[in-house]
Amino acid sequence: MAKDKGILTRHLQAAPGWLFSAYAIAAAFSTYFCMYAFRKPFSGISYAYNPTDGSEPETEMTVPLLDVTLDLKTVFVISQIIGYAISKFVGIKVCSEVTRGRRLLMLVGFIVIAQVTLVAFAVGPIWLKVAAIFCNGLPLGMVWGLVVWYLEGRRTSELLLAGLSCSFILASGVVKDVGRWLINAHGVPDFWMPAATGAVFMLPFLLAVFMLNQLPGPTAEDEAARTHREPMDGKHRLAFLKHFIVPLSMLFVAYFFLTAFRDIRDNYGAELFAEMGVGEDDEAIFTRSESWVAFGVLVPLAMLSLIKNNRAGLLGAFGIMAFGAALLGVGTWLYDQGHIKGLTWMILIGLGSYLTYVPFGSVLFDRMIATTRVVGTAVFAIYVADALGYTGSVALQLYNDLYYSSGDGPTQWEPFFVGFSYFMSITGLVLIGGAAGYFVLKHRRRDEQLP
């Protein structure tokens, strides 16, 4: 662990537990919340490219390698996700090996690069816009791992990571609403809106990163309770995967589809609401729906911090994930039968998907390491899962656009999403239950309960 320096860092080392947790949550939440302003605003609207030769605006684009025509927004979304997925593969090595002294510079550098790509997205011709939004995803995919490094391996990690996880649930809605507001209230052109939104959040991001970097490392008591965490080289990464090959295989398959589910709901929420006739005149529809989801996720995940026994905490995380998967099926059945309206359905499947999704990026692997005492970092496992998950996101979005659209108009997301919700509910329950059963059978309760 790097030597802790700075007046603020020393004060945090001596601070009461509640004050340290409040500071850590605020810093991590703000950092990742602001990052979303550089990633998600563009997905809040549909796009029509206006050529300079005066011809009709383009709403579709032919993809040469596939010899197919896709919605222009779909091309942008998939381009960014491909960049984001590549970033996750790179992050398996970079984020698992990064030292504390390099995290601050990497965080700032990644956001500056992302903002430059958004300016290129605004000013370039259509081919450059596609390339720019691809390059936008390349640095942003590693931000999560750098932030989690500051929080994992502590006795209060569940609480800290739950607070961090609420950032992207809320931010996804808020930054899209901010982008729509910039267009409607200030006349910002559609393609300039993402860069303008990023500019609004640049200074808050820099302040948040400075605050985050003041956090001291885990204490001796933290390491005794949750196992010492250190950067992993290739040998340690391979040993980690071999040790957990059975449960990780089931979890990674579930996450492959779950990431696609969550990403489609997030990126095409505007289209889903429009198809259901919801929120046409409500500029804050995303903020309203995601606020309920964030609160519903925060409470159960934060309560996991009350469970001191690591094995019980791990099973608690599995229980929350299984409940989320079940909620996907129940909520969709209620909507399918006409018992609830579109907004309520979107909230319920949002809550169900995030209850299942969020533990992967926060408490699940942290508790897994603490339970088994295997040397490693949660960041490594998170990035392997994310790399596979975003690959699934690209594949499923292409599948829907190529094979599930009506063929005579824009892609229809609502019928695809209803079927996907049922599939995700059943598949999630089976795979999560299998992984939980593995730990029940293979890792017995320890004699002593860790503090």
- The 8-class DSSP code of residue 405 comes to S
Non-local (6+) Cβ contacts of 62 within 8 A are 68, 69
- Judge whether residue 411 has pLDDT over 50: yes
Q: In DSSP terms, which residues pair with 137 in a beta bridge?
A: none
How far apart (Å, rounded) are the C-alpha atoms in residues 348 and 331? 6
Per-residue pLDDT of 172-223, as tens digits, reads 888 888 988 998 889 998 889 999 999 999 999 999 999 999 999 888 887 7
What secondary structure, in 3-state letters, does 128-169 show? HHHHHHHHHHHHHCCHHHHHHHCCCCCCCHHHHHHHHHHHHH
For residues 260 and 67, the model is more confident at: 260
pLDDT score of 447: 37
Q: What is the pTM of this model?
A: 0.74
Mean pLDDT within 412-424 = 88
> Given pLDDT bands bounded at 50, 70 and 90, which one contains residue 68?
low
> Given pLDDT bands bounded at 50, 70 and 90, which one contains residue 326?
very high
For the chain, give the percent of residues with pLDDT over 70. Answer: 84
Q: Are 53 and 39 in contact (CB under 8 A)?
A: no
Mean pLDDT within 351-360 = 91
Mean pLDDT within 394-417 = 69
Non-local (6+) Cβ contacts of 404 within 8 A are 411, 412, 415, 416
pLDDT score of 449: 39
For residues 397 and 227, the model is more confident at: 397
For residues 380 and 261, the model is more confident at: 261
- Any idea what the Cα angle at residue 220 is, between residues 219 and 226, rounded to 5°? 85
Query: Which residue type is seen at 286?
Result: F
Per-residue pLDDT of 187-199, as tens digits, reads 998 889 999 999 9
How far apart (Å, rounded) are the C-alpha atoms in residues 22 and 372? 29
**Cβ atoms within 10 Å, residue 99:** 11
Q: Residue 345: which of 105, 353, 314 has the closest Cα? A: 353
Q: Are 299 and 165 in contact (CB under 8 A)?
A: no
For the chain, give the percent of residues with pLDDT over 90. Answer: 35
> Which domains can be identified in the chain, with CATH numbers?
31-47+59-442 (1.20.1250.20)
pLDDT score of 55: 58
Mean pLDDT within 381-385 = 83
- Judge whether residue 410 has pLDDT over 70: no
pLDDT score of 356: 94
pLDDT score of 320: 94
pLDDT score of 40: 85
Mean pLDDT within 157-171 = 83
How far apart (Å, rounded) are the C-alpha atoms in residues 223 and 370? 9
Mean pLDDT within 29-50 = 83
pLDDT score of 376: 67
How far apart (Å, rounded) are the C-alpha atoms in residues 441 and 405? 44
Say if residue 26 is exposed, middle or buried (CB neighbours under 10 Å; 0-12, 13-18, 19+).
Answer: middle
How far apart (Å, rounded) are the C-alpha atoms in residues 183 and 272? 20
* Summary mean pLDDT of the chain: 83
How far apart (Å, rounded) are the C-alpha atoms in residues 43 and 420? 21
> Given pLDDT bands bounded at 50, 70 and 90, which one contains residue 342?
confident
> Given pLDDT bands bounded at 50, 70 and 90, which one contains residue 37?
very high
> Given pLDDT bands bounded at 50, 70 and 90, which one contains residue 445?
very low
Per-residue pLDDT of 137-163, as tens digits, reads 999 999 988 998 888 778 887 788 888
pLDDT score of 291: 84
Non-local (6+) Cβ contacts of 193 within 8 A are 41, 42, 45, 179, 182, 183
